[in-house]
């Protein structure tokens, strides 16, 4: 009888959740859709569309605006994008992630007492990638000039009414302690030095003269090139060169090195964005695309391969069995991510063919324990699925015996990471997302990041340096593929997504939130595909989060990054009966009002020839459709 009551409760909870009215209305459009992390930045996309730009032009305008507004990123950060090109009918990937600078070695960082690279400051910086990524996308797939696309961002740099979230972040004690160490950051973020409140107030016009000058120099370079009869594409790349090789680069490097950073002129000149083939798997007739293994994106693809072996719909949305299945699947794929993912342009070669094979997924699915959480899930062995022998077997055995023998590996119940403010900051550390689509078929999904507050600005450029270096490891026992080397890219959490069905765009979606990103994106996709939610319902729906993974961000000691097996975050709307069932299975349950970063998404309604836009109710994210 008790089991029947619990089952009935779960069914009612599932039906109520799926049918409930959303807090924000869905967006609709037939000509274009523009969604990103700030209302003014979404307006920048709308302005560009109204001027006749395509989705790439609009996405670049939104990217520029979010960087200028310090929407948990800056111009010195990194850009990761997926683009559907309707002319070639292919999805392409843009790798605009910076690299470790000259002198950035394991020995250098270990000599400073680090187990992991630092979170903030000049030594947390890889080379800037967003400027190059924006220029490359615009030059090759946009239609407009850099001058037109950057116009909204330049207007913002000249002065915009700052939002409370960003202004208060500048004023927060924690960020202030960092920013005050860096003279160029202090000058930008604290226009009221010596007063009771030194950061801008909400609604105050926030001016960034140095950044405006930097953007103006790039536009000057482009316009001069056009006067010399260079093509639109070549003129944009002249502006690119001024940033990476010219006077802007010189000031960036000077300001970086003055404050203790390692980036050189040669580092900037040698770096370039890369256009790549994305990775994809087919899930029940839908092709899902992610960036390569320099991101955590393939972890979502591996998860879909495993989950394809189960009848998720029959389990019921967020039932104990469904939650357990999702949690265990993500633990399996995070274990693989934590050990096997890294920069594909450096040896050793990652075994991605094996990791993404359906046969490997079946083997991993069979390892799930259905009665209890498995705290000792480790990386699998994908090499036999490539016809190879795993060269890391000794290392894997060492990891497994260490995990099983180290009782501190499983924290006591009272030290739940979800109650640790600093841990949660590292887990959820932000970025933003940019989603754009147009009636001609162009689709863009971007997860840009880096240079968030507290950011160290490089000289008089107005450009905040990236902090992505912290996603490297200094110990090959953790991940032999992601050990720092000069010129190498760290394995990042940043992970846009695009799905195709019957040869047409199906969904485009992305989210901020560090290691939780692909957790949220996976469940958002399943909400639509398995449970029939609208896109707005899907982005607002309650998720679960696992902490059974190595953190990719924050904390320079091993204890800061270690997995927390069995810890799970569920929505505070989850019935107590479901929570109790999870506890019986060995989970340490924490509830929260928000269980996802702000997801932004576009759904393509081919039946009616329109777009549905979804913009999360969690955060300031905003969308406009027409």
> What confidence tens digit (pLDDT) does each residue in 356-366 have?
999 999 999 99
The arrangement of strands across the sheet holding 545-546 comes to 545-546, 567-571, 588-592
Instruction: Identify whether residues 281 and 266 lie together within a single domain.
Output: no
The reported pLDDT for the residue numbered 2 is 53
Other Cβ atoms closer than 10 A to 349: 12
Instruction: Identify whether residues 412 and 464 lie together within a single domain.
Output: no
The reported pLDDT for the residue numbered 398 is 86
The reported pLDDT for the residue numbered 401 is 72
> What confidence tens digit (pLDDT) does each residue in 87-122 have?
999 999 999 999 999 999 999 999 999 999 999 999
Task: Assign 403 a pLDDT band (cuts: 50, 70, 90).
Answer: low
Instruction: Identify whether residues 559 and 512 lie together within a single domain.
Output: yes
Other Cβ atoms closer than 10 A to 504: 12
Task: Assign 411 a pLDDT band (cuts: 50, 70, 90).
Answer: very low
Query: Buried b vs exposed e over 177-210: b needs ≥16 C-beta within 10 Å?
Result: ebbeebebbeebbbeeeeeeebbbeeeeebbbeb
The reported pLDDT for the residue numbered 387 is 98
Residue 613 lies inside a defined structural domain of this protein: yes
The reported pLDDT for the residue numbered 296 is 98
Task: Assign 11 a pLDDT band (cuts: 50, 70, 90).
Answer: low
Q: How far apart are CA 114 and CA 486, in angstroms?
A: 17
CA distances from 427 to 56, 484, 485, 550, 553 (A): 30, 21, 25, 10, 7
- Mean pLDDT of the region 189-210: 98
**Residue 557 and residue 113 in contact, taking contact as beta carbons nearer than 8 Å:** no
Q: Where are the alpha helices (DSSP H) in 497-624?
A: 517-529, 535-540, 558-561, 576-584
> What confidence tens digit (pLDDT) does each residue in 150-165 have?
999 999 999 999 999 9
Residue 36 lies inside a defined structural domain of this protein: no
Residue 1 above 60 pLDDT?
A: no
The reported pLDDT for the residue numbered 412 is 37
- Work out the angle between the directed axes of helices 130-141 and 232-245 (0-180°, nearest 10): 170
Q: How far apart are CA 51 and CA 147, in angstroms?
A: 13
The reported pLDDT for the residue numbered 191 is 98
**Residue 330 and residue 544 in contact, taking contact as beta carbons nearer than 8 Å:** no
> The dihedral of CA 511, 356, 289, 125: what is its sign?
positive
The reported pLDDT for the residue numbered 421 is 60
Residue 482 lies inside a defined structural domain of this protein: no
The reported pLDDT for the residue numbered 496 is 98
Tokens 């469940």 belong to 523
Show the tokens assigned to 525: 């996709």
Instruction: Identify whether residues 356 and 467 lie together within a single domain.
Output: no
- Mean pLDDT of the region 166-179: 95
Q: How far apart are CA 547 and CA 514, in angstroms?
A: 12
Residue 41 lies inside a defined structural domain of this protein: no
Could you say which of 438, 471, 504 is where a domain stops? 471
Instruction: Identify whether residues 514 and 595 lie together within a single domain.
Output: yes
pTM for the whole structure: 0.95
Residue 422 above 80 pLDDT?
A: no
User: Among residues of the chain, what percentage have pLDDT more than 70?
Assistant: 92
Q: How far apart are CA 446 and CA 494, in angstroms?
A: 9
Residue 15 above 80 pLDDT?
A: no
What is the overall mean pLDDT for the chain? 94
Show the tokens assigned to 90: 């292919």
Residue 402 above 80 pLDDT?
A: no
The reported pLDDT for the residue numbered 399 is 80
Q: How far apart are CA 598 and CA 617, in angstroms?
A: 7
The reported pLDDT for the residue numbered 221 is 98
Show the tokens assigned to 562: 């270690």
- Return the H-helix or E-strand segment holding 505: strand 504-511
> The dihedral of CA 167, 554, 573, 617: what is its sign?
positive
Show the tokens assigned to 317: 């949305």
The reported pLDDT for the residue numbered 574 is 97
Mean pLDDT is lowest, of 86-90, 225-229, 493-497, 615-619, for 615-619
Instruction: Identify whether residues 425 and 508 lie together within a single domain.
Output: yes
Task: Assign 14 a pLDDT band (cuts: 50, 70, 90).
Answer: low
Q: How far apart are CA 366 and CA 309, in angstroms?
A: 10
What is the maximal distance between C-alpha atoms in the chain? 82
Mean pLDDT is lowest, of 197-211, 402-416, 427-441, for 402-416
> What confidence tens digit (pLDDT) does each residue in 321-339 have?
999 999 999 999 999 999 9
DSSP secondary structure, 73-89, as one string = --TBSBEEEEEEETTTT
Residue 136 above 60 pLDDT?
A: yes
Question: Cβ-count burial of 238 within 10 angstroms (0-12 exposed, 13-18 middle, 19+ buried)?
Answer: buried
User: Among residues of the chain, what percentage have pLDDT more than 90?
Assistant: 89
- Mean pLDDT of the region 184-194: 98
Q: How far apart are CA 229 and CA 518, in angstroms?
A: 45
Instruction: Identify whether residues 553 and 616 lie together within a single domain.
Output: yes
Distance of CA 270 to the CA centre of its chain: 25
Helix (H, G, I), strand (E, B) or coil at 497: strand
DSSP secondary structure, 129-175, as one string = -HHHHHHHHHHHH--S-HHHHHHHHHHHHH-EE--HHHHHHHHSHHH
The reported pLDDT for the residue numbered 597 is 87
Instruction: Identify whether residues 460 and 423 lie together within a single domain.
Output: no
Mean pLDDT is lowest, of 493-502, 579-588, 615-624, for 615-624
Instruction: Identify whether residues 263 and 248 lie together within a single domain.
Output: yes
Show the tokens assigned to 351: 């075994």
Residue 486 lies inside a defined structural domain of this protein: no
**Residue 74 and residue 450 in contact, taking contact as beta carbons nearer than 8 Å:** yes
Tell me the residue range of the domain where 522 lies.
Answer: 2-19+277-430+491-625
Q: How far apart are CA 63 and CA 45, in angstroms?
A: 9
Residue 443 lies inside a defined structural domain of this protein: no
The reported pLDDT for the residue numbered 20 is 74
**Residue 254 and residue 260 in contact, taking contact as beta carbons nearer than 8 Å:** no
Query: 193: which DSSP letter?
Result: T
Which of these, 158, 164, 175, 160, lies nearest to 201 by C-alpha position?
A: 164
**Residue 474 and residue 115 in contact, taking contact as beta carbons nearer than 8 Å:** yes
> What confidence tens digit (pLDDT) does each residue in 236-250 have?
999 999 999 999 999
Instruction: Identify whether residues 261 and 285 lie together within a single domain.
Output: no
Instruction: Identify whether residues 227 and 357 lie together within a single domain.
Output: no
Residue 233 lies inside a defined structural domain of this protein: yes
Question: Cβ-count burial of 108 within 10 angstroms (0-12 exposed, 13-18 middle, 19+ buried)?
Answer: middle
- Mean pLDDT of the region 176-199: 98
Instruction: Identify whether residues 467 and 600 lie together within a single domain.
Output: no
> The dihedral of CA 229, 230, 236, 242: what is its sign?
negative
The reported pLDDT for the residue numbered 156 is 98
Residue 367 lies inside a defined structural domain of this protein: yes
**Residue 351 and residue 388 in contact, taking contact as beta carbons nearer than 8 Å:** yes
- Mean pLDDT of the region 248-264: 98
- Mean pLDDT of the region 189-213: 98
Task: Assign 510 a pLDDT band (cuts: 50, 70, 90).
Answer: very high
Bridge partners (DSSP) of residue 473 are 483
The reported pLDDT for the residue numbered 334 is 98
Query: 192: which DSSP letter?
Result: T
- Mean pLDDT of the region 477-500: 98
Task: Assign 3 a pLDDT band (cuts: 50, 70, 90).
Answer: low
**Residue 340 and residue 478 in contact, taking contact as beta carbons nearer than 8 Å:** no
Domain count, the chain: 2
- Mean pLDDT of the region 465-494: 97
Residue 472 above 70 pLDDT?
A: yes
Bridge partners (DSSP) of residue 611 are 29, 604
Instruction: Compute, in degrees rounded to 10, the torsion defined by CA atoms 82, 322, 617, 55.
Output: 20
The reported pLDDT for the residue numbered 619 is 82
Residues in CB range of 227: below 8 A, 6 or more apart: none
Residue 86 above 60 pLDDT?
A: yes
Q: How far apart are CA 587 and CA 417, in angstroms?
A: 13
Show the tokens assigned to 279: 């990775």
Tokens 């009002």 belong to 593
Task: Assign 408 a pLDDT band (cuts: 50, 70, 90).
Answer: very low
Strand pairing class (622-625; 32-36): antiparallel
Could you say which of 440, 471, 502 is where a domain stops? 471
CA distances from 39 to 69, 545, 574, 622 (A): 11, 27, 31, 5
Query: 545: which DSSP letter?
Result: E
Bridge partners (DSSP) of residue 78 are 449
């Amino acid at each position: 009888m008790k089991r029947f009551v619990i089952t009935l409760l779960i069914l009612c909870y599932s039906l109520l959740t799926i049918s409930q009215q959303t807090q924000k209305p869905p967006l609709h459009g037939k000509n274009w859709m523009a969604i990103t992390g700030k209302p003014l930045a979404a307006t920048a996309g709308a302005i560009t569309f109204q001027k006749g730009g395509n989705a790439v032009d609009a996405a670049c305008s939104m990217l520029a605006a979010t960087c200028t507004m310090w929407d948990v990123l800056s111009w010195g950060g990194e850009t990761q994008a997926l683009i559907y090109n309707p002319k070639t009918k292919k999805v392409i990937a843009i790798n605009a992630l910076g690299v470790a600078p000259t002198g950035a070695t394991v020995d250098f960082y270990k000599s400073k007492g680090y187990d992991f690279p630092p979170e903030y400051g000049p030594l947390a910086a890889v080379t800037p990638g967003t400027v190059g990524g924006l220029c490359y996308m615009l030059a090759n797939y946009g239609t407009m000039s850099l001058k037109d696309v950057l116009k909204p961002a330049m207007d913002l740099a000249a002065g915009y009414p700052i939002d409370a979230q960003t202004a208060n972040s500048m004023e927060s004690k924690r960020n202030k302690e960092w920013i005050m160490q860096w003279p160029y950051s202090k000058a930008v973020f604290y226009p009221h030095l010596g007063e009771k409140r030194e950061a801008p107030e909400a609604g105050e016009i926030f001016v960034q003269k140095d950044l405006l000058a930097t953007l103006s120099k790039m536009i000057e370079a482009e316009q001069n090139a056009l006067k010399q009869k260079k093509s639109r594409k070549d003129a944009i790349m002249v502006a690119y060169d001024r940033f990476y090789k010219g006077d802007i680069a010189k000031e960036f490097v000077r300001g970086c090195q003055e404050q203790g950073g390692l980036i050189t002129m040669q580092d900037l000149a040698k770096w370039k964005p890369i256009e790549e083939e994305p990775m994809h798997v087919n899930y029940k007739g839908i092709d899902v695309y992610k960036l390569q293994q320099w991101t955590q994106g393939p972890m979502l693809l591996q998860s879909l391969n495993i989950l394809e072996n189960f009848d998720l719909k029959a389990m019921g949305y967020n039932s104990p069995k469904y939650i357990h299945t999702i949690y265990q699947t993500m633990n399996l794929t995070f274990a693989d991510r934590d050990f096997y993912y890294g920069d594909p342009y450096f040896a050793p070669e990652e075994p991605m063919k094996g990791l993404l094979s359906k046969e490997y997924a079946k083997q991993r699915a069979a390892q799930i324990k259905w009665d209890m959480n498995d705290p000792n899930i480790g990386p699998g062995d994908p090499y036999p699925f490539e016809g190879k022998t795993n060269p890391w077997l000794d290392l894997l055995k060492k990891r497994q015996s260490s995990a099983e023998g180290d009782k501190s590996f499983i924290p006591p119940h009272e030290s739940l990471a979800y109650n640790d403010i600093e841990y949660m900051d590292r887990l959820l550390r932000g970025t933003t997302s940019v989603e754009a689509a147009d009636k001609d078929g162009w689709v863009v999904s971007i997860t840009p990041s880096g240079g968030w507050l507290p950011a160290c600005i490089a000289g008089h450029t107005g450009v905040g340096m990236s902090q992505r270096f912290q996603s490297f490891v200094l110990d090959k026992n953790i991940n032999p593929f992601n050990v720092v080397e000069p010129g190498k890219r760290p394995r990042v959490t940043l992970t846009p997504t695009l799905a195709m069905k019957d040869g047409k765009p199906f969904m485009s979606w992305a989210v901020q939130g560090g290691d939780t990103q692909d957790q949220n994106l996976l469940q958002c996709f399943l909400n639509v595909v398995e449970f029939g939610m609208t896109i707005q319902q899907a982005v607002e729906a309650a998720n679960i989060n696992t902490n059974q993974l190595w953190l990719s961000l924050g904390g320079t000691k091993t204890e800061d990054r270690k997995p927390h097996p069995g810890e799970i975050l569920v929505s505070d709307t989850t019935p107590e009966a479901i929570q109790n069932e999870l506890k019986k299975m060995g989970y340490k349950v924490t509830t929260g009002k928000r269980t996802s970063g702000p997801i932004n998404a576009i759904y393509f309604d081919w039946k009616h020839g329109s777009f549905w836009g979804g913009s999360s109710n969690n955060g300031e994210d905003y969308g406009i459709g027409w």
